[in-house]
Structure 1
Amino acid sequence: MATLRISGRFNGPPDSGNGGYVAGLLAEQCDEETVTVILRSRPPLETPLDVRDGRLYDGDTLIAESIGGELERDAPRPVPFAEAVAASDTYVSIEMFASCFVCGSGRTDGLRIEPGRVGENRVAASWIPDDTVPLRPALLWAAMDCPGGWSLPGMLDRPALLGSMTATVHGLPQVGERCVVVGEYHGEQGRKCFASTAVYGVDERLLGQAEQVWIRLT
């Protein structure tokens, strides 16, 4: 039985782990190339969490569960780096996400992946990884998290949290590599919203792709 601990640096909403990063940590425990992770409860920070049979527990509370997954869509098309930089300049967030490790504009030690619109249902953001965090698959899962949410229409008025994520990591970026993250909205059913994301490195090298279900809070 493995034990995971989510460092306080890797929060999403205040006082809980970033959904993509937590899902990626659990996916790293699997042998499958493509993994689906379903988030069941908010992941606590700085707490020993047990991994048992592909499930993540805080004591008796189920935090997340993983199974072998399958991607149903092609990865969102790449966007030129300069266009992604310009899109990031238009990024507008809300207070509940300001401290998010991935997209939080109030963080100096986060990824600062700040998506802006590049089409009706598409967003993009620039990302240059630094050497303060190990470049591992879980970090790619984190990078692919928030852009999916920001592709949803009305995210500022009706925010959503990640419910599940299916992802494949094809490769890892280099420190200082000019990367682009793209998110694409695919519709919704009730409070469930569907999106896909991709991370591209230099020369449009596909590093990872994901499909997500987001849950509106209201």
Structure 2
Amino acid sequence: MAFLVPARFCGPPSSGNGGWVSGHLARLVATAPDRPAVTVRLRTPPPLDRGMAVVESGGVWEVTDGEHLVAQAQAAAGPERGGIPAPVSFEDALVAGERYEGLADHPFPSCFSCGTAREVGDGLRLRPGRVGDSDLYAAVWVPADDVDVETVWAALDCPGGWASGIAGRPMVLGTMTARVDTQPVAGEPHVVMAWQRGEEGRKHFSGTALYAGDGTLLAQAEATWIAIDPTSVRPASSASSVSPAGGTA
């Protein structure tokens, strides 16, 4: 079985967006009532437009690029339902988006999920910004007609990085656990909420949740982000910034 990440779904220009790649792999994982979520661990930057091998053994799916292990996935109990912040209104999320730190300085402007260099209709163009004086971040999202599992994972991905302090401190996605209960409706307004769940050395932990316009919880995720040496990331104007892990902004 082949596993391919089209170049459109990049994080840095040369590797896949961690959320999209994780969702693409999550499609293959069988879930169950007691394990309704999927955990994906990214081991190395997923290459673009190159077929990779994917195999399953004992409920664990692995993607390999030659001798290199790229990602692993398996069913999981999932993020805890308790303690999830309530959504702000679509209008308040729009206001939060005006404070999006990526507009001033973005480590990966090509990112499919939150990149500032993406054209309308080509990327999700999420703008997660701080909600008032709180520690919460929010972004609006109106899914296009091609909404699918991969785009939901991508939408749940990057806001968590910005809530964890990626601005001025480059990070890459290490592990993501997501549960998608209901697909969002194309053309309808949605809000993505994001918040910090703590940190431990170079590891930063985030939570994200996707809500419909009426406040219904559709999906949620928890992620571990790894802070990297800023000197390993080229300036945002560079055409070839590459991260050492999953590769989301």
Q: Please report the TM-score for the alignment, with normalisation by the length of structure 1.
A: 0.94
Aligned residue in 2 for 1:105: 116
Structure 1 or 2: more strand by fraction = 1
The Cα of 1:76 is off from its aligned counterpart by: 3.4
Q: For the residues of structure 2 that align with 1:127 and 1:138, how far apart are their CA atoms?
A: 15
The Cα of 1:72 is off from its aligned counterpart by: 4.2
Q: For the residues of structure 1 that align with 2:67 and 2:225, how far apart are their CA atoms?
A: 25
**Structure 1 residue matching 2:214: 3-state secondary structure:** helix
The Cα of 1:126 is off from its aligned counterpart by: 0.4
Q: For the residues of structure 2 that align with 1:194 and 1:99, how far apart are their CA atoms?
A: 23
Large movers: runs of 4+ above 6 Å:
none
Number of positions where the alignment pairs a residue of Structure 1 with one of Structure 2:
214
Larger radius of gyration: 2
Correspondences of 1:1-218 after superposition (within 5 Å): 2-32=1-31, 33-53=36-56, 54-74=61-81, 75-93=84-102, 94-108=105-119, 109-118=122-131, 119-131=133-145, 134-153=146-165, 155-218=166-229
Deviations 1:63-122 (A, max 9, x none): 000122123433332111000011111212134221100001110111011100015421
Unaligned runs of 5+ in 2: 230-249
Q: Please report the TM-score for the alignment, with normalisation by the length of structure 2.
A: 0.83
**1:144 maps to amino acid:** L
Q: For the residues of structure 2 that align with 1:71 and 1:174, how far apart are their CA atoms?
A: 23
C-alpha contact 1:171 1:208 (8 A) present in aligned 2 = yes
Q: For the residues of structure 2 that align with 1:96 and 1:160, how far apart are their CA atoms?
A: 9
Higher relative contact order (CA 8 A, sep 6+): 2
- Percent identity over paired residues: 43
